[in-house]
Each structure stands twice: as C-alpha cells, then as structure tokens.
Amino acid sequence: MSEILISRTKINSRVKELAERISADFSASGAEKISIIWVANGAVMFAADLARNIKNLAVSMDCIKCSSYGEQTISSGRVQTSFSAQIPVRGEHVLFIDDIIDTGNTSKEMIGKIKKLRPKSLKTCFLLSKEARRSAKAIKPDYVGFEIPDLFVYGYGLDAKLIGRNLPDIRVM
Ligand code: IMP
Ligand code: MG
C-alpha cells in the first residue's frame, strides 16, 4: 500500500479537538441542538467520529449525496447533488460536514441549497483542505482538520477509484 500521509492516531486526536471546539462554539452562540448535514459517501467516517465527540448538544444527522468524480481523480466540474435532508433545517443551527474541500465547487453548490432552507446559523467543517486548488468563488471553511498539499488521497472515508474508504489512515495515491 502507498505512503501514509495522516495516521489514524493523528486523525483521532484532531477529530476530538474539532468536536470540542465545535461544541463550545455552538453552545456559546446559544444553540442547544444542532442539525448535522454530512456529505456521502466521503464524510462517512469523519462525520460519525466527529458527531460521537460532540458534547452538550442534541444532535440530528442526515446525509446528502453529491458526486463530480465518478471513477476519475479529477473533478468533472459538474456537481450532481441529491438533496433531501429529513432533519429540521429552517431556523436551526446547522453544521455541514464533508471529507475534503478542494476546488470548493461541491461545497459551494451544497451550501447554496442549504441556505435556501433558511437555517438560523450555518457552519462548515472539512477534515481536509487543499487550499492551493481553491477556486476564487469558493466558500471559506469554518473548521478544517488538516491542510494538505495538492495530492490525491484516500482512506478514512475517501476513495480512490471507488476503493479504500474503509482504511483507517489517510494515504497518498
Ligand atoms: P471540490 O468540489 O473540488 O472541492 O471537491 C470536493 C470533493 O471531491 C470531495 O467531497 C471529495 O469527494 C472529492 N475529492 C477531492 N480531492 C480528493 C482526494 O484527494 N481524494 C478523494 N476525494 C477527493
Ligand atoms: Mg465528496
């Protein structure tokens, strides 16, 4: 297998840190409950681990699905979203979670759809960020686990040509 970029140990401790900060920030803004909207499939591990470490808030969770890659490693630029969150969004404090922000096209599209549902507040959280590749119109993420270089990575929910989501570490393809 290829080289490990971020080990499971580092992921675990960073996820706990993020969850603590998120819990504290939402609580400080007066929230008692939050609605988590996470992006399938890539954020499956991250969203599960992050949510498990959120304290002092009631949590609802639902996923939305999006794809622009298929079996490619370069974004097709066309983002297909299927959005049908079955949890409250209007007037709620919402946390959007995805595995990685790269160009930012995917999150921009999805955040636009969530905003139309009029949440009371909306914060965005990504495990990984490739800032060098960001498009000018991208959103500015509120929480990022790790800044990484322009490499294609997989593991811990992320796939490379549909394989590797189950791996506990993040590896370079
Ligand atoms: P963006 O729209 O360019 O920001 O791309 C975001 C989406 O592309 C993420 O939700 C991932 O699904 C996917 N993606 C971007 N970079 C990688 C990578 O290095 N490995 C796996 N998936 C990636
Ligand atoms: Mg994705």
C-alpha 113 to ligand 1 mean position (Å) = 19
Tell the burial category of 15 from Cβ atoms under 10 Å away from its Cβ (0-12, 13-18, 19+).
buried
pLDDT of residue 84: 73
For ligand 1, whether the C-beta of 141 sits within 6 Å is no
Question: Across the beta sheet with 121-129, what order do the strands follow?
Answer: 80-82, 58-67, 33-40, 93-101, 121-129, 143-147
Tell me the backbone φ, ψ of residue 61, rounded to 5 degrees: -135, 140
pLDDT of residue 80: 65
C-alpha 66 to ligand 2 mean position (Å) = 6
C-alpha 42 to ligand 2 mean position (Å) = 5
pLDDT of residue 86: 83
Tell me the backbone φ, ψ of residue 14, rounded to 5 degrees: -70, -40
Which atom of ligand 1 is found nearest the CA of 100? 9
Q: What is the pLDDT along the chain (173 residues), one digit of tens a residue?
A: 899 999 999 999 999 999 999 999 999 999 999 999 999 999 999 999 999 999 999 999 999 987 665 555 555 556 666 667 789 999 999 999 999 999 999 999 999 999 999 999 999 999 999 999 999 999 999 999 999 999 999 999 999 999 999 999 999 99
Owning domain of residue 92: 4-172
- The residue whose C-alpha atom lies closest to atom 13 belonging to ligand 1 is 100
Task: Tally the domains of the chain.
Answer: 1
159 catalytic? Reply is no
For ligand 1, whether the C-beta of 102 sits within 6 Å is yes
Q: What pTM value is reported for the model?
A: 0.93
pLDDT of residue 126: 98
For ligand 1, whether the C-beta of 154 sits within 6 Å is yes
What CATH number should be reported for the domain holding residue 156? 3.40.50.2020
Of 34, 35, 15, nearest to 128 (Cα)? Answer: 15
- CA geometry: angle 131, 134, 138, nearest 5 deg: 120
